[in-house]
Structure 1
């Protein structure tokens, strides 16, 4: 399978503080990756570095053969990175429809298709962003990233703080995008049991470094490793 993302010797952080250290990672085209680890291990920093909003101290990032290392965030977005940060970053003073149409780019993911994926958004297309619930805002943030038609989708804890029924709905949609339709994605999630079943590969970070890399299915079955790195209770 063709290589989509290649990270080599990446060290990054904020100011002089180095958070992510010596990351080497390859993501093939069409594969999804669960990025796991306890709080403060560098997961969000790694995504932020791919987007271009941290300070890079060393290393290289290549997406679909294009070196992103020296590019600004808007140039990385144009190169094919779609990002859903924890803060969501939707336009709260625009309607749902305006949020989507303002950023949509040509490709298979159209605004109409986003509405088909998220019927709740279709029902609220005339609502302002600040009139949506937290779960609906998260759906809108994911839909906005999809209509950019990115090569790589980055999701930073997309299920955090949402009601169980919304978690279930959003998880089904993410599974459809990454598992059934083969969009390449890196997904940060605190609960490995939610995200490992819908991704192909898993990476665990600890103190800013990769301490485990392998198949998601194998890690899901390895209770000892889950306990060791992620403090997941045994059942």
Structure 2
């Protein structure tokens, strides 16, 4: 299968600070990859670099063969990047449905189809974004990204700060997106045991470099590797 996303020799950061060095990986169409690592190792910087809000010092990023370097974040979004940042950035003064329709682009992901993945959003379709719980805002942020009909979802810490019951609901929705719907995704996550079971491959960052790439299932079974790079000693 052809590469959807190709990152080659990426060296990037903010201002004069280099955060990522020689980062290289590929993501196929319909594939989900977990991006793991301790705090401050460059996970968010990787997502930001794909979106186009960092400084690129060297290397390339291509989406479906198109070089992204000369393109603005808005132009990259137009090519099919659906970004869900940690801050969610929903429109707090608009209703749930207005949040979805305000950014919608033509394609298979209609508002009704998004409601099918997130029934809770349908129940609250008339509620203002600012009145939603944190978990509901995260669902809305993902739904809003889907409304742009992306080729690739970029999720930055989607379960961070959420109650366990909401995390399970969100992960169930992601399973549907990734497996049943075949959505390609790059998912930054702190909790390896939550994200590895629902992704096909994973990479681990350490000090801005990739120190491991491989199948998610194999990494999940390798307790020594999880402990060495992520500090995970048990479920």
Same fold per superposition (TM over 0.5): yes
Distance of 1:112 and 1:179 partners within structure 2: 19
Corresponding residue number in structure 1 for 2:216: 216
Corresponding residue number in structure 2 for 1:195: 195
Work out the number of aligned pairs and report it: 235
Residues 179 and 199, structure 1, Cα contact 8 Å, conserved in 2: no
Flag as ranges the 4+ runs of structure 1 deviating above 2 A. Answer: none
Corresponding residue number in structure 2 for 1:68: 68
Corresponding residue number in structure 1 for 2:207: 207
**Deviation for aligned residue 1:39:** 0.4
Q: Which moved more, 1:23-32 or 1:41-50?
A: 23-32
Corresponding residue number in structure 2 for 1:130: 130
**Deviation for aligned residue 1:45:** 0.3
What secondary structure, in the 3-state scheme, does the structure 1 residue paired with 2:187 have? strand
Gaps of at least 5 residues in structure 2 are: none
Residues 152 and 184, structure 1, Cα contact 8 Å, conserved in 2: yes
What secondary structure, in the 3-state scheme, does the structure 1 residue paired with 2:99 have? helix
**Deviation for aligned residue 1:234:** 3.5
Distance of 1:123 and 1:3 partners within structure 2: 38
**Deviation for aligned residue 1:76:** 0.4
CA RMSD of aligned residues (A): 0.8
Distance of 1:132 and 1:184 partners within structure 2: 27
Closer/same/farther in 2, CA of residues 122 and 234 from structure 1, 3 Å limit: closer
Residues 84 and 142, structure 1, Cα contact 8 Å, conserved in 2: yes
What secondary structure, in the 3-state scheme, does the structure 2 residue paired with 1:93 have? coil
Give CA-to-partner distance per residue, 1:129-183, whole Å, 9 cap, x none.
1111111100000000111111110000000000111100000001111122211
Distance of 1:118 and 1:183 partners within structure 2: 15
Corresponding residue number in structure 2 for 1:232: 232
The residue correspondences of 1:110-129 to structure 2 (distance < 5 A) are: 110-129=110-129
The residue correspondences of 1:112-191 to structure 2 (distance < 5 A) are: 112-191=112-191
